[in-house]
Structure 1
Amino acid sequence: MNNEIIRVLLVEDNPADARFIKEHFKDIREMRETPFLISDANSVSSAVEHVTNRHFDVILLDLSLPDSQGLETLHRMHTHAPGMPLIVLTGLDDDELALSAMRHGAQDYLIKGKFDIQLLSRAIRYTIERKRSEAEIKKLAYFDFLTGLPNRVLFTDRLKQAIIMAQRDTRNVALLFLDLDNFKKVNDSIGHAYGDRLLKITADRIQNCLRSADTVARIGGDEFVVILPFLSGTEDVPKVAEKILHSLKNPVTFEEHEIYTSVSIGISMFPGDGSTVDDLLKNADIAMYQAKEGGRNNYQFFSQDMNVQAVTRQLIESSMRQAISRNEFYLVYQPQYNLRDRVITGFEALLRWRHPQKGNIYPQQFISIAEETGLIMPIGEWVLRTACTQARKWHDAGHSSLRIAVNISARQFKQDSFATLVQTILAESGLPPQFLELELTESTIMEHADKNVQVLQKLKNLGVTLAIDDFGTGYSSLSYLKHFPIDRLKIDSSFVRDINTNGDDAAIAEAIIFMAHSLKLDVVAEGVEQEDQLTFLDSRNCDMLQGYLMSHPLSVTEVGTLLTHVPQTTG
């Protein structure tokens, strides 16, 4: 600071006091290297003109002026010069007023006629440094350290102010809740440093889509919110959302990495969708999840129907947390048949939920929620243990060649201890490992493929069978299969459904069977419901079938009856 010019605004209406202070500044200039540049004003109105036209490093402010008295003087200067440090000038009998002024934002005070040049110079330097420190503290308290955007605290305050002004002027406010799609994959694949850089670029791109009156804030890891105030309606909101979507679709290049990003946006409107910060944020969040479920990279306005869905979702999540301990989950078993001789080779274990009030809740209603919340971990373990235990009972009853197939979620598979869990459950149940088949989706094994080869090999070393479920719906390439220790493919039912009427589906199914056999893999066709589908698959040498044509999923009792009437494989 020694070589910087310090610009001082002296606001003092008493000529004698003003002259006394200016003389001190003159003496300081003669003694010090640091020059002070003094401007003076004799009223608040005059001072406001000065601060409107230029910046000052510090203001020396007499609180008793012709056009303002006491703390009102301080408030008026703060309003027009909110970032400038203030030193209050008081008389001998004004100590209480001076202390009150400091409580209301002044950085220091000086008693007129009772300070020398050292005290004046020190007070000014201290005030400037204190103001800088306060600014840094405020930045840490109100701004996101990574992107420099307002954080949740400042966002909340600005949305409150926008709501107040909208109520006063009968206007609208839009709140956009943005969540980056698949951001976790960026962190997991190329590292958190690149993820942080992506967040900074994202923040800049969003900011460039907005007006100066709008606010964008970062309120979570990859979550941003945008406030659009002073709206007369909703017609401009989709334009802003589309602009943001378009901006964020452009790829980001980091050295050798090219990253394609997108964002899901939920929108709530004041006053229609809520009158408080919490309501608007909750409803925009709900709409954002609808955008995610709608395929990502889109925006959705909140509707009351979404709120009903969100409440239902919350009730399902809450009930699901207690379902295991209350024995509400159960398994049904769908037979798999060898197509050549029509014998049962095994069963696929399928999860069901019998809710005490709502009755049967089917997997499509709760599995995705279980995945997102992590509840799939205890549920998945229960399924695996129950299925293995039941398969062992069938073996003990004389059906010793039956295989049990269990679906494994991506979240389960990513668990470092998953192979150990499988080994433990096999040991506890007594089921020979070759009769357990673990079904995984294409996308699960292809994400971090190099690492997953090692996990799959650990499972193969246990002696279990590995299958790819819903094949053809993910990466749809057989070229990678030779790198994985896979035993079996399951053709997704979406291809089987129209296999006799859709030439593309028929060609895909035929290609999967041919290429799988060339790699010495078995093929199971799922969702077989009609005789002509069976005929087609038989003519293409598909190995196994599963579907309503042969059998619906069965209870344990029904399986027992079936096994007494239908032949099973003998090995």
Structure 2
Amino acid sequence: MGDVQQASGGGQASSGHGEFSVLVIEDNPGDRRLAELALTAGAEGTGAFCEVLLAGTLEEGLQLLATAERNAMHAILLDLGLPDAAGFDGLQRLKSLYPDIPVIILTGQNEEAVAISALKFGAADYLEKDEIRPRSLWRSIGYALERKKLEAELVYLAATDPLTMVKNRRALLEALPLIMENALRSELHCAVLIIDIDNFKQINDLLGHSTGDELLLTVASRISDAIRQTDVVGRLGGDEFAVIATNLKSPEGAIEIAEKITQAIAAVPEINGRPIEISSSVGIALFPSGVENSDELLTHADLAMYKAKKEGRASICLYDESLHHELRRRLLLKRAMVSDMATPGFYLDYQPIVDCKTHEIVSAEGLARWRTRDGKIVMPAEFIPIAEENGWIADLGMRMIEQACEFMSRSLSTGVPVVPISINVSPIQCKDKGFPGEFTRAIERRGLSPTLFNIEITESTFMQDIDGARRGLEALMHVGIGIHIDDFGTGYSSLSLLRDLPLKHLKLDRSFVSRLAEDLGTRPIMEAIIDLARKLEFKTVAEGVETAEQVKLLTEIGIDYLQGYYFSRPISAAKLCEELVMGGVVRNGYGLGLEAGHDMDNADKISRALGR
């Protein structure tokens, strides 16, 4: 052990360019001393201070590294001909134990081929011993350190989201299995929290992408401040973030972290100088919890997040067995849809819309339904999202349009009275440039008037692509198809949309109608909307009408049309035909239906209209 030495050279240079520690592992005392002097002189020449540690064997060098402070060693000079580590053995052992410290190989003459091979084993550079000069040695160390710095930066960038500078999806996916293993060993819990900013798409579209980016930066910072040092935060993509919470003593710990995150995000007062109110939805999946791998844990957290969004803004949902059953049901529905898409299992029911004063049926809304092969009825709230997620919505939507056109054509040809039919259209269909042409051709093939059809779209459809929506809607409006905004008042209700888009009707969301009798503030809001619509020459429809009192109040404030269970639930095409044949006036709030004893001529017309 007498060969183990420590030497420092020259003191701190006045320019203060830094302090370095270099370990020289060389069994030849002369070469070892030469390297020490060259390092000291080279450091002084650049205004730096270099601490040189000397060892005559690999084991002596490893002892010095073991006792040095963590990350204190900047570089290692290694002789390949050590008595206890011949060839590349010493290099491989150093790289396995200290992979972040660059190793520069010292070689004798005629060993260049060996030195080049050493580079393949992880060496940063090599120098021939007779070329050890202060300048060349220090330059080699400098290059090695620069490469190490660059490699570290590349590793950081590969694991970092470029906008928010938190970990990216790939880094999170790589970290999660290790954290799960540690939870099992330590007999503690870990959890995945997926955080989604509520209504981010609308904020991004209304305030601009630069404001949206600034919001993402702010949210990433707020989440980072809200979690503990041992937790990991990253961005999955878009407006979704994830936190891997570690070392949890109980499931309640994950909920507490989620609450801190939602509170921190909600406390953001403004973005780019604009006041803003934001909230977030959080889904949590715990481990251990019966999952077999990290992908399954992420899937559970994602499902919990979507459940939280359904429950409303600023919700937190913990994955449990009921969500597992929901996931399984969605998978079964998806498989059933694949086989049922081309069958008559998908059909339209119709809900009448009546004149507010006369209660005469003036139109009907076509509502998609799905009767599965075992006879069960599935509502659109369940199967429409599945169709949208899997790219089936355009085909399904056109099938419903074709069905409505066929029903209208048969009714007219058999003398059954008809009213315009409104059809709900997905935002995905609206963004399809070919949709207006497909709809128009379906009408033309049957010789129908486009004025017999309306489409209903939500405000969010406009917010996703205002210019694209405008072009598509103008094409439909140009041929006479009516455009109705559905659920008006639940989104941003931008007045510029009412000014710029070719609209015909506004359908006030049912939440206004349900609060009309009890909430004093609702009536003046509805009156203002109705007055504005009248001045813009739009008609107004109130949906969700269920009581006589609501009918009375809506009539008083001047609504044009009414729709809801008070007049009729969604009914079959046959029931709609029957009511229109009987005069199409709903006189009482008991729903639609034919009185007994209607004449056989009308019954025959109805049968032929339905293709029987």
CA change 1:259–1:88 in 2 (3 A) is farther
Per-residue deviation, 1:364: 2.5
Q: Deviations over 1:356-415 (max 9, x none)?
A: 146211122223443455533322222223212321222222246522222233333344
- Deviation digits for residues 320-349 of structure 1, max 9, x if unmatched? 344332332111223344455554433321
Is 1:205 equivalent to 2:236 in the alignment? no
Tell me what 2:349 maps to: 332
1:40 correspondence with 2:58: no
- Would the alpha carbon gap of residues 174 and 477 (structure 1) be closer, same or farther in structure 2, given more than 3 Å must change? closer
Match of 1:153 among 167, 170, 185: 170
Counterpart for residue 302 of structure 1: 319
Provide the rounded CA distance (Å) in 2 between the counterparts of 1:90 and 1:168.
Answer: 46
Pick one of 381, 385, 389 that aligns with 1:364: 381
Instruction: Give the Cα–Cα distance (whole angstroms) in 1 for the partners of residues 53 and 514 of structure 2.
Output: 86
Matches within 5 A, 1:507-526: 521-526=538-543
Q: What is the CA-CA distance between 1:277 and the residue it aligns to? A: 1.6
- Residue 127 (structure 1) aligns with: 144
RMSD: 4.4
SS at match of 1:296: coil
With over 3 angstroms needed to count, the CA separation of the structure-2 counterparts of 1:275 and 1:89, relative to structure 1, is farther
Deviation at 1:106, TM superposition (A): 3.6
| Structure-to-structure mapping, 1:465-480, within 5 angstroms | 465-471=482-488, 473-474=490-491
Structure 1 residue aligned with 2:451: 434
1:10 and 2:30 aligned:
no
Residue 410 of structure 1 corresponds to 427
- In the other structure, the counterpart of 2:331 is 314
What does residue 49 of structure 1 align with? 67
Structure 1: gaps spanning 5 or more residues = none
TM-score, with length taken from structure 2: 0.76
Judged with a 3 Å threshold, the aligned counterparts in structure 2 of structure 1 residues 301 and 273 are, in CA distance, closer, same or farther, namely farther
Which piece of structure 1 moves more, 399-408 or 487-496? Answer: 487-496
What percent of counterpart residues are identical? 35
> Please, which moves more after superposition, 299-308 or 217-226?
217-226
1:98 offset after TM fit, Å?
7.8
Task: Kindly indicate whether the alpha-carbon contact (under 8 Å) linking 1:442 and 1:469 is maintained by their aligned counterparts in 2.
Answer: yes
Cα distance between partner residues in 2 of 1:473 and 1:28: 71
Alignment CA distance shift 1:286-1:488 (3 Å): closer
Q: Retained in 2: the 8 A contact 1:388–1:404?
A: no
**Contact 2:505-2:541 at 8 Å conserved across structures:** yes
Which of the numbers 21, 38, 49 marks the counterpart of 2:35?
A: 21
**CA-to-aligned-CA distance 1:389-445 (integer Å, 9 cap, x gap):** 321222222246522222233333344454444433332332212221222335545
CA distance in 1, matches of 2:245, 2:115: 40
Q: Which is worse superposed, 67-76 or 451-460?
A: 67-76
Per-residue deviation, residues 210-255 of structure 1 (Å, max 9, x unmatched)? 3332222233333322222223223332232222222222447554
Identify if the C-alpha distance between structure 1 residues 247 and 69 changes in structure 2 by more than 3 Å, giving closer, same or farther: farther
What is aligned with 1:144?
161
Distance 1:194 1:503, change over 3 A: closer
Is the contact made by 1:321 and 1:375 (CA closer than 8 Å) also made in structure 2?
no
Assess, with a 3 A threshold, how the Cα gap between structure 1 residues 239 and 88 changes in structure 2: closer, same or farther: farther
- Which whole-Å CA distance do the structure 2 matches of 1:509 and 1:5 have between them? 71
Describe how 1:489-568 pairs up with structure 2 within 5 A.
Answer: 489-493=506-510, 521-528=538-545, 543-566=560-583
TM-aligned CA distance change 1:21 to 1:525, over 3 Å: closer
Aligned partner of 2:282 in structure 1 is: 265
Q: How far apart, CA to CA, are the structure 2 residues paired with 1:322 and 1:305?
A: 26
SS at match of 1:431: coil
The TM-score, its normalising length taken from structure 1, stands at: 0.81
Q: Distance in 1 between matches of 2:579 and 2:386?
A: 34
Q: Residue type matched to 1:319 in 2?
A: A
Q: Is 1:423 equivalent to 2:440 in the alignment? A: yes
Q: How many residues align?
A: 565
